[in-house]
Amino acid sequence: MKKLASSLLAIISLITFTACTAPEALQTSVLSPDQSIKVEVFTSESGEFGYKVSKGDITVVDKSYISFDFKDMPALGSNLSIETIDITKSSEEWEMPWGEQRVVKNEYNQLYATLKEKADPGRTFNVVFKVYDDGLGFRYEFPAQDGMNEVVILDENTSFNLSGDHIVWWIPGDWDIYEHLYNNTNFSNINAIAKRDHPNLAQTTIPENAVNTPVTMKTEEGLYLSFHEANLTNYSGMTLKVDTVNLNMVSELVGSRDASKVKTQVPFNTPWRTIQIAERAGDLVESNLIVNLNEPNKLGDVSWFKPMKYMGIWWEMHMNKSSWDLASGKHGATTENAKRYIDFAAKNNIKGLLVEGWNTGWERWIGFPDREGVFDFVTPYEDYDIQEVVRYGKENGVDLIMHHETSAAPRTYDQQMDTAYQLMHSLDIHSVKTGYVGPIIPDGEYHHGQWMVNHYRRALETAAKYNIAINAHEPIKGTGIRRTYPNAISREGLRGQEFNAWSIEGGNPPNHLPNVVFTRMLAGPIDFTPGIFDIKFSKYKDKNQVNTTLAQQLALYVVLYSPIQMAADFPENYEGQPAFQFIREVGVDWEQSKVLDGEPGEFAVIAREERDTKSWFVGGISDESGMTYNLNLDFLEDGITYEASIYKDGEDAHWDDNPLSISIESSTFKKGDKLELVMAPGGGFAISLIPQK
Ligand code: NOJ
Ligand code: CA
């Protein structure tokens, strides 16, 4: 990654305050670079540290306080004085090795407050706010100091005092999984407890009425807010406990087998607690706040990984056409089957093949409490010749994507990581999809707790040594770590396409993805696995289907961002389909991205310019109501004529009644041209715009 520029522009002021007894006498504030967002900090009469956030005249987060509960140490949060406040300004640009855009602007004003307890034990810590034009992040920094060494955090109590009973798009604060449907209620009606024990979740722990982040809200004034965290490192994931009466949220960290939340030692920093603030829902998606609050690339040259489309011996298992294990007698991962996929991929501009079920152990995958040592990550089943598949792939320009299902036995995976990655290295395989299905072993640890956060990070760091990138399923949420570790290429961490194959609701409802765009996608790349063409798949299942039209399946390649995008269906379902041309053609790596319009849970229209080609791709998706969208091509480059292919819902298209009805048209367009597009219920459109030669 090349750093374009990095400069601290100016230290505009350095203000030092001394403690004062009058309540809130120490109040001070910082504005965003464009002056639209203001953060005020203060102490209360009892010496609690507080903050308040506003945008223009609107209070976004009202006076809110913070505190920590520790093991074997008094709580920290009252009797504090603000010792110093430094306000500085910073502006830089940095480049993503692959991403939604090439160049990212990172411009903010920082307020750095040092705090000290006025009486014994006189501990000190700092609260740092970085205020951007599109929101803010703040974190706590605990310096080395006498009387504090090993620290066990029992609770971090960061509160977010909301200014109204906002409309909220939320999933429950599950400590083990994010694969829930989004709910849309007023804040006062959030009921996460009602979401316990979903029968399709192999692990789920919802201890209280809390939500997971990112959580998106809309205020009465029409502002869109998202609460999340950035740079989750050596700490537990944060859920937000909701107080539906006082309209307040308090951080609730994920627990562990000994009931502590975080074990660490000074000096340490917490992750950033983030609040994105936007006038348009689309601006939340365009925001780079989360990646900006992470450290620059630590891995250096990562050109060994290339963004790509991929296929997989995968959907056939979810369809029960074949199986992961060998004993069933219908094993999917055979040498012959892999070659069949490679043949199709090679002819169709698809550069990767994922093969699940290639290694021994799948006979004891789900439903066995003792899963340590079951999988190894180097021994193929007898009907899968991995060397031969890799050779055949190379000959045809298709790289293998490795698969490591850990069955949530991370200690087994830890023991084998080096061996497993060495095998990949020796086969010149540069990416792996990992999986963590099931309750974590040992009992009492959770997917989103500090112990697992550190495991997922260890996998990234170890993989990087072997030039390997990771696409984690059942992961920890994205918190912008991909800036520091670009080999964190993608992840699941949402209810993906697979739920259409087997969920009790019959699949994901049509509003699922319009929800995902404005919630989960704020955390970064999504391995959703789009592109199912046999939408009803009645040959395999009668109670499930994909609840979108075919045109929407195409749109997802643009709407959902990931540097790896699966063409998830079987080769035979793509063969002879004119609509497949869009998947052949669509880019996976972007110069720039624009969210043209959208509303959470209703619709989203996104345009992306491919790197190096000047081609644009546009995708639109709608919920179960459908809508007419007037597309204005004013983002195109002046002076270029574009050859366009337009894939849109047929007149009678409908996600349930007629999902395959599609109309494909060609045309030429220039900057500023306009186009009326009718999105069917559960429908969408996809457009490629290729500069004329
Ligand atoms: C869950 C993953 O999300 C899915 O994609 C995969 O096929 C199974 N685990 C098996 O690893
Ligand atoms: Ca999953």
Q: How much is the pLDDT for 16?
A: 34
Q: Which pair of structure tokens corresponds to residue 122?
A: 């006189």
Amino acid at the residue 382: E
Write the CA distances from 489 to 176, 421, 422, integer angstroms: 21, 16, 20
Query: Top-level CATH class of 550-693?
Result: mainly beta
The torsion of the CA quartet 519, 522, 525, 529, rounded to 10 degrees, works out to 10
Please indicate whether the domains covering 8-292 and 298-493 agree at the CATH topology level.
no
- CATH code that applies to domain 8-292: 2.70.98.10
CB–CB of 645/688 below 8 Å? Answer: yes
CB–CB of 682/547 below 8 Å? Answer: yes
> What are the tens digits of pLDDT across the range 508-542?
999 999 999 999 999 999 999 999 999 999 999 99
Residue written as token pair 């669509």: 586
> What are the tens digits of pLDDT across the range 265-292?
999 999 999 999 999 999 999 999 999 9
Mean pLDDT of 390-411: 98
Residues surrounding ion ligand 2 at CB below 5 Å: 473
Q: How much is the pLDDT for 147?
A: 86
Is the preceding peptide bond at 442 cis, omega within 30 degrees of 0?
yes
How many Å apart are CA 77 and CA 62, to the nearest integer? 18
Q: Whose CA is nearest to atom 7 of ligand 1?
A: 314
Please say if the pLDDT value at position 247 is more than 50.
Answer: yes
> How many helices, marked H, and strands, marked E, lie in the chain?
12, 36
Q: Identify which ligand lies nearest to the alpha carbon of 437.
A: 1
Give distance in angstroms: CA of 404 to centre of ligand 1.
10
Buried b (16+ CB within 10 A) or exposed e, 609-634: bbbeeebbbbbbbbbbebbebebebe
CB of residue 492 inside a 6 A radius of ligand 1: yes
268: which residues sit within 8 A by CB, 6+ positions away? Answer: 141, 142, 151, 234
Q: Identify which ligand lies nearest to the alpha carbon of 471.
A: 1
Strand ranges for 118-205 from DSSP E = 124-132, 135-142, 150-162, 167-170, 183-186
How many Å apart are CA 584 and CA 575, to the nearest integer? 12
Mean pLDDT of 180-207: 98
The closest-lying atom of ligand 1 relative to the alpha carbon of residue 529 is 5
The CATH superfamily of 298-493 is Aldolase class I (3.20.20.70)
Going by pLDDT thresholds of 50, 70 and 90, the confidence category of residue 12 is very low
SS3 42: strand
Q: Which of 401, 437, 471, 528 to mutate to test the pocket of ligand 1 (most atoms within 8 A of CB)?
A: 437
Please say if the pLDDT value at position 4 is more than 90.
Answer: no
Q: Which of 356, 359, 403, 527 to mutate to test the pocket of ligand 1 (most atoms within 8 A of CB)?
A: 356
CB of residue 495 inside a 6 A radius of ligand 1: no
Give distance in angstroms: CA of 568 to centre of ligand 2.
14
The closest-lying atom of ligand 1 relative to the alpha carbon of residue 403 is 11
In the chain, the percentage of residues whose pLDDT exceeds 90 is: 95
Single out the residue of 50, 144, 125, 46 nearest to residue 83, CA to CA.
125
How many Å apart are CA 27 and CA 40, to the nearest integer? 7
Give distance in angstroms: CA of 178 to centre of ligand 1.
14
Give distance in angstroms: CA of 437 to centre of ligand 2.
7
Q: How much is the pLDDT for 3?
A: 38
Q: Which pair of structure tokens corresponds to residue 166?
A: 């906002």
Going by pLDDT thresholds of 50, 70 and 90, the confidence category of residue 14 is very low
Going by pLDDT thresholds of 50, 70 and 90, the confidence category of residue 29 is very high
Give distance in angstroms: CA of 178 to centre of ligand 2.
9
Give distance in angstroms: CA of 471 to centre of ligand 2.
12
CB of residue 179 inside a 6 A radius of ligand 1: no
CB–CB of 190/184 below 8 Å? Answer: no
Q: How much is the pLDDT for 464?
A: 98
CB of residue 473 inside a 6 A radius of ligand 1: yes
Write the CA distances from 404 to 372, 377, 408, 439, 457, integer angstroms: 14, 7, 11, 17, 16
Q: What does the mean pLDDT of the chain come to?
A: 95
Give distance in angstroms: CA of 51 to centre of ligand 2.
38
CB of residue 325 inside a 6 A radius of ligand 1: no
**How distant is the alpha carbon of residue 179 from its chain centre?**
12
Single out the residue of 640, 658, 648, 652 nearest to residue 679, CA to CA.
648
How many Å apart are CA 681 and CA 416, to the nearest integer? 48
10: which residues sit within 8 A by CB, 6+ positions away? Answer: 88, 89
Instruction: State the pTM of this model.
Output: 0.96
> What are the tens digits of pLDDT across the range 624-670?
999 999 999 999 999 999 999 999 999 999 999 999 999 999 999 99
CB of residue 569 inside a 6 A radius of ligand 1: no
Single out the residue of 546, 498, 460, 463 nearest to residue 177, CA to CA.
498
Residues marked as catalytic? 498
> What are the tens digits of pLDDT across the range 466-491?
999 999 999 999 999 999 999 999 99
How many Å apart are CA 66 and CA 59, to the nearest integer? 18
> What are the tens digits of pLDDT across the range 362-395?
999 998 999 999 999 999 999 999 999 999 999 9
CB of residue 437 inside a 6 A radius of ligand 1: yes
CB of residue 405 inside a 6 A radius of ligand 1: yes
CB of residue 498 inside a 6 A radius of ligand 1: yes
The closest-lying atom of ligand 1 relative to the alpha carbon of residue 496 is 3
**How distant is the alpha carbon of residue 406 from its chain centre?**
21
Q: Which of 320, 473, 503 to mutate to test the pocket of ligand 1 (most atoms within 8 A of CB)?
A: 473
Q: How much is the pLDDT for 684?
A: 98
Q: How much is the pLDDT for 469?
A: 99
The closest-lying atom of ligand 1 relative to the alpha carbon of residue 405 is 11
CB of residue 533 inside a 6 A radius of ligand 1: no
Q: How far apart are the first and last CA of the chain?
A: 31
- 265: how many CB neighbours lie within 10 A of its CB? 12
CB of residue 438 inside a 6 A radius of ligand 1: no
CB–CB of 479/498 below 8 Å? Answer: no
422: which residues sit within 8 A by CB, 6+ positions away? Answer: 466
Sign of CA dihedral 381, 387, 388, 390: positive
The closest-lying atom of ligand 1 relative to the alpha carbon of residue 435 is 11
Amino acid at the residue 564: I
How many Å apart are CA 431 and CA 426, to the nearest integer? 13
How many Å apart are CA 381 and CA 428, to the nearest integer? 20
Mean pLDDT of 341-355: 98
Please say if the pLDDT value at position 27 is more than 50.
Answer: no
CB–CB of 119/79 below 8 Å? Answer: yes
CB–CB of 73/79 below 8 Å? Answer: no
Residue written as token pair 């809390």: 210
Mean pLDDT of 572-586: 98
CB of residue 362 inside a 6 A radius of ligand 1: no
Give distance in angstroms: CA of 182 to centre of ligand 1.
21
Q: Identify which ligand lies nearest to the alpha carbon of 203.
A: 2
Give distance in angstroms: CA of 499 to centre of ligand 2.
8
Amino acid at the residue 147: G
Single out the residue of 528, 8, 37 nearest to residue 287, CA to CA.
37
How many Å apart are CA 88 and CA 311, to the nearest integer? 48
Q: Which of 358, 365, 498 to mutate to test the pocket of ligand 1 (most atoms within 8 A of CB)?
A: 498
Write the CA distances from 425 to 97, 458, 463, 531, integer angstroms: 21, 17, 10, 30
22: which residues sit within 8 A by CB, 6+ positions away? Answer: none
Please say if the pLDDT value at position 428 is more than 70.
Answer: yes
How many Å apart are CA 190 and CA 261, to the nearest integer? 24
CB of residue 623 inside a 6 A radius of ligand 1: no
Pairing assessment for the beta strands 352-355 and 308-313 based on DSSP bridges = parallel
The C-alpha angle with vertex 525 and arms to 524 and 528, in degrees rounded to 5, equals 130
The closest-lying atom of ligand 1 relative to the alpha carbon of residue 324 is 10
CB of residue 435 inside a 6 A radius of ligand 1: yes
Q: Whose CA is nearest to atom 8 of ligand 1?
A: 435
CB–CB of 578/562 below 8 Å? Answer: no
Q: Identify which ligand lies nearest to the alpha carbon of 433.
A: 1
Amino acid at the residue 559: V
Amino acid at the residue 415: Q
Q: Where are the domains of the chain?
A: 8-292, 298-493, 550-693
Strand ranges for 195-297 from DSSP E = 210-211, 215-218, 224-230, 238-243, 248-253, 262-265, 268-269, 272-278
Give distance in angstroms: CA of 194 to centre of ligand 1.
26
How many Å apart are CA 280 and CA 225, to the nearest integer? 10
